[in-house]
Structure formats: structure tokens, C-alpha cells
Amino acid sequence: MPPSLTFVWLLLVAVQDVHGAEDQPFLSLQHGVNSESALLRPGKLDFLFKHRPNENQYNFFGWTPLFKGGAGILDPDNPGPSAKYVGGFVRPLAAWRDKGDLILGAQGVEAGPREDYEVQGEYRFPFGLGIGAGIVEASNPANDLAFWKTTYRNQWGALNYILEVQGQEIGGETSPGGYVALFTEQLMGVAGTDGEQWRATAAFIAPDRKQLFRPTVEVLYVDNSIGQFNGPKSIFANATLRYEGGFLSHPARLGRAMGPQGSEFGNPLGFLFPTWNRRLEVWEMGNLGDLRAERIRFPNHTTQERYEALFFPFQFDQNKNILDHLFAGAAYLKSQDRDTPALLGGYFSVIGFLKVSVGVEVELHPSQTSIVIGLIDAF
């Protein structure tokens, strides 16, 4: 059985054991997965397929308060190895929040001769102190690393804050690091370093006034040029005209600013690439209209850029109809290999118990087409 299917089977068996006896069946064609257990709800099963020129991608993950994890394959059409990855982490104290929070995670990536693994753990005391550590074992010993961290999280009025200090050992040298996170229901700012990377994030989400527009914007800057290994610098910005809520994340965070798992860096499963933590497609961020900009500058001074904008044109009249779920837009892509505009279009809606999305991107010069198909069962 392929690793991704094995993972799905094990996940369903595990969550069904936790589900226990309830009035509704755990799995049905009418409701999909159903559970009232605090260990499973809110929960989410997510499957994503991407067909790009010369590559197919498959990704599956499941999120619950108890367990978050996933698996996937990047399968190139041309001769070359596929990349397979699987990972996840559990919070065994999720049912006993007065006991604190224990996070145990592991992940592996296999791509040809490359076989990299990581394990991490962190315990957070009820009064806000957290202690954690982790290691990465790589095929190339030069990429092995170990880190340890101490965090403190608390609240001062409406202001939440997280303070962290950490050390990271790589290549026989230890680098100090840390970060500060400040956030309210509307604003958020994060800045920090792990010795090999600087990271800063800012986000704003408008108050929910039950109006048509609820704009939200987030900007993430990452600089990997520091430390022993020279890497790229990148800016990743996202905005939506009507925010519809993140999944198991603080609303001002859009699920990415401090790690997709809500566990800040070094966060569980944050070192290997690729990871099972897929980022949202542009049309999944919100309604009315969504925008994304990404610019990466590599150590050889070349750049890769991608700008996307799309709209749900039939949502602006506020009359509910089937056309509300259609979106259309455009993109501009620039790299060493291409410099081209592209057209975007597709459909994103709820059918039965599934959120279904189909997105198509057509690059113009040269002409090539990418297709994205997503299925989400949120419960």
C-alpha cells in the first residue's frame, strides 16, 4: 500500500477509536466524518492534487486537536526520483488542558539518495513556560542539526505575547536565537532568528462587522543568507477582501505567520522540505477577491517572482446563487526560465459535506496549463 494511503488508513482507525459511541455514525456519505469528541473537533481532512508541466503532486493531511499530520508525493514526469514525505505530531494531553500541553512530532523525506528525518518534542506548563528540543538526521551529515528552546506565553489585557530563546547546533557550531510575538484579535507582529534565518511577519484583520468587506493582509519576510549556509531571501504577501476564518489558528495569523501548526519556530516539523503543511491556494484565502505576491532572491542574485489576483465577481451583489463560487483572475510569473502572464479560473464551493475546488492556470508564453483539485472535509 502506498505510504499516503497507509497514513490515511491509520489516521481513520485512530480517530475512530477516539470517537467512541455517538448517535451519528463516524463515517457516512451524508455527513462525511462526524464526531463530537473534543479530541477530534474541530477537525479537517484535506486532499490536494496538482498537475503541473512535468510533475504531479499528491498531498493528504488530517488536523484535529489531538493529531496533525500528513503525507504526499511529488512525482516528476521526466526521469528522476519521486519525493515522498510523511510526518505529524500528537498532543496526548489535549483532553486534559489543565495538565499543560505536550507536543511530540516526527517527519521523514525520501527523494532518491536523500533520506532525512527529524523528531521533536515540547512540553508547555499550564502557567505558560515551555521547554522543547529536536534533531534532524540527514543523508548529508553537514545538514544534521539539533535545537533546544524555552518559551513563555501569556496575556496582558487584550495583548497576547510569546517570548522564546533557543540554541541551534549545525556543522559543529551553536548559534543562539529567539523571537518575540505580539498579537491581538486584529493585529500581529513576529520577529526572530534561529541563527540560520531571520523571519519577520506582520498581519492585520479587520473587525467582523457583518458587512460585505472584511479585508485582511499578511506579509512574511524570510532571510536565509545569514549563518553558515547561504540561502535565499523571500517576501510572501497575501490579502483578501473578505476573511472567512483560518483553520485552528489565531485569526490574525492566517495559519502561517508562526508556523502552520500554531507552534512557533523552531516549530514541530519545521526543518525538512517539502513538508506536509501545504499553504492555502489563493482562492481558498477568502471571498470577493484574493491577492498574493511572492519574490525570492537566490544567492546567485537571480530572482523568482509570482503575482496573483483573482475575484469572485458574482459575490459583490450579495445575492446568493450558484455563480458565487466561480472565480477568475490573472498572474504574472518571472524566473530565469520564463517571463509570462497567466490566466486563472475555477470553482470553489461546498458540495454535500466536501469543500471542492478546481483551479486552472494557463501560462501564455510558452503555453502550458496547470490544474489543482482540492477536497476538504471539515468537521
SS3 track for the chain? CCHHHHHHHHHHHHHHHHHCCCCCCCEECCCEECCCCCCCCCCEEEEEEEEECCEEEEEEEEECCCEEEEEEEEEECCCCCCEEEEEEEECCCCCCHHHCEEEEEEEEEEECCEEEEEEEEEEECCCCEEEEEEEEECCCHHHCEEEEEEEEEEEECCEEEEEEEEEEEECCEEEEEEEEEEECCCEEEEEEECCCCEEEEEEEECCCCCCCCECEEEEEEEECCCCCCCCCEEEEEEEEEEECCCCCCCCCCCCCCCCCCCCCCCCCCCCCCCCCCCCCCHHHCEEEEEEEEEEEECCCCCEEEEEEEEECHHHCCCCCCHHHHEEEEEEEEECCCCEEEEEEEEEEEEECCEEEEEEEEEECCCCEEEEEEEEEEEC
Give the lowest-confidence range in 19-33, 144-158, 318-332. 19-33
Give the rounded distance of the alpha carbon of 297 from its chain centre. Answer: 22
Mean pLDDT to the nearest integer, 246-251: 54
User: Per-residue pLDDT for 259 more than 50?
Assistant: no
Mean pLDDT to the nearest integer, 254-283: 57
Q: What is each CA distance from 362 to 10, 53, 332, in whole angstroms? A: 37, 11, 11
The confidence band for 171, taking pLDDT boundaries of 50, 70 and 90, is confident
341 contact partners, CB below 8 Å, separation of at least 6: 330, 331, 332, 333, 363, 364, 365
User: Per-residue pLDDT for 21 more than 80?
Assistant: no
User: Per-residue pLDDT for 180 more than 60?
Assistant: yes
Cβ 66 vs Cβ 40: under 8 Å: yes
What are residue 5's phi and psi, to 5 degrees?
-70, -40
Give the lowest-confidence range in 54-58, 153-157, 204-208, 275-279. 275-279
User: Per-residue pLDDT for 185 more than 70?
Assistant: yes
> C-alpha cell of 345?
479560473
The rounded distance, in Å, linking the Cα atoms of 167 and 184 is 28
> C-alpha cell of 61?
493531511
User: Per-residue pLDDT for 328 more than 70?
Assistant: yes
pLDDT above 90 coverage of the chain, percent: 35
Give me the pLDDT at residue 327, please.
97
pLDDT above 70 coverage of the chain, percent: 85
> C-alpha cell of 293?
505576491
Mean pLDDT to the nearest integer, 65-89: 87
> C-alpha cell of 106?
516526527
The confidence band for 270, taking pLDDT boundaries of 50, 70 and 90, is low
Cβ 37 vs Cβ 21: under 8 Å: no
Mean pLDDT to the nearest integer, 211-232: 87
Cβ 349 vs Cβ 356: under 8 Å: yes
User: Per-residue pLDDT for 175 more than 90?
Assistant: no
Give the rounded distance of the alpha carbon of 160 from its chain centre. Answer: 22
